[in-house]
Each structure stands twice: as C-alpha cells, then as structure tokens.
Chains A and B, each alone.
Chain A
C-alpha cells in the first residue's frame, strides 16, 4: 500500500461494535471531515468548524475570494499606508 506521505501511528486497530476507534491524543479536540476511497481507506481531514453567523462569507464566492486575495497580498507585503483616516470618524452619514 502506498502511504502517500502518511506514517503508521498504530499497526492495528479494530473498531468496536459501533464502529468506534480511539485515535489518541493527536486527534484530541479536533474536528474532521471523513473521506473513504474505493480501497476502503479512510482519510480524516482536519476542518475548522464555521459558526453559523460566519457562513455567509464561505458561501459567497466573491466575498471569500476578496478576503483570500487580501490575505495573500498581506503575506507578500502588498500593504499600503494611506495616511490617517481619523478626520473621517465624525462624518455624518445616513445608514
């Protein structure tokens, strides 16, 4: 079997009668997406749970794309000091 970069952490585990396996400390406190392939290999892919009130961003391709682009630019040092915005704090605007 090709381990594709994975290391064996347990030589043999057997699920209990309800299909449960204890993964031990490396998996403690995390959440996973579970995938299975045609060979019966199961992959646990760590995921960060998204609170309901934040789903709008992840469900909006334009918005998440803008955030990802901005984050990438920050990583690459594409940031700009536009001077102070303090003078606009008291602007009268209609909501």
Chain B
C-alpha cells in the first residue's frame, strides 16, 4: 500500500534546517520518508509501536528509524490517518 505523508510544521522545519546545515542527514531523512510512503514494512525502518505516546484522537503512534548507529541518529514519530492511506508525521528528532 502506498501512503501520502502529512508533516507537522515541526517536522517540516527540521527537514528544512537539515537541508541547509546537514545535507547528509537531510538525504537520509528524505530516503526514510520515501520508504515510509512506498514500503512501510521496509526492514531498515525498524517500524514499531511507541506505546507511551498516542495521537490526538487516541491513535497508536509509531517510531521509524532514519539511522541506526550514527551519532544523534534521527527517529520519525508518526501515526496512521486522519484519512485512509495517509500518514501524519508528528516529529523527526535525534536519538541521543
């Protein structure tokens, strides 16, 4: 199934900042979002439920990996919806 991504302003601004200041990480995030769109089950995403978070309407929130072992490896937090075949990206933030 192919999804359409919707990004919070916060997520959008992180992408814009990285495009200016860290092109390598920016490229990794674009690839991650591309994979989420076309193949949400791609092994490199390591997608899993993040049970201590929930969406604004009680949606299950998931974490996807941008990187694994790199310093300040980024993670993507997202949930399904609000419409079918849509994914809302809440935040893209580095893992310490």
B95 / chain A contacts, CB cutoff of 8 Å: 56, 63
A43 / chain B contacts, CB cutoff of 8 Å: none
Kindly state the interface size class of chain A when it binds its partner: 35 or more
Q: Which of A19-34 contact B (CB under 8 A)?
A: none
* Contact between A87 and B27, CB atoms less than 8 A apart: no
B9 / chain A contacts, CB cutoff of 8 Å: 70, 73, 78-80
Q: Mark A52-70, 1 if CB is under 8 A from B, else 0.
A: 0010111010110011011
Q: Is A45 an interface residue (CB 8 A)?
A: no
> Given contacts A48-B52, A67-B53, A85-B37, is CB(A79)–CB(B94) below 8 Å?
no
A94 / chain B contacts, CB cutoff of 8 Å: 24
* Contact between A91 and B53, CB atoms less than 8 A apart: no
Query: Chain B: residues with CB nearer than 8 A to chain A?
Result: 2, 4-12, 14-15, 24, 27-28, 30-31, 33-39, 50-53, 55-56, 67-70, 77, 88-96
Query: Chain A: residues with CB nearer than 8 A to chain B?
Result: 48-51, 54, 56-58, 60, 62-63, 66-67, 69-71, 73-75, 78-82, 84-91, 93-95
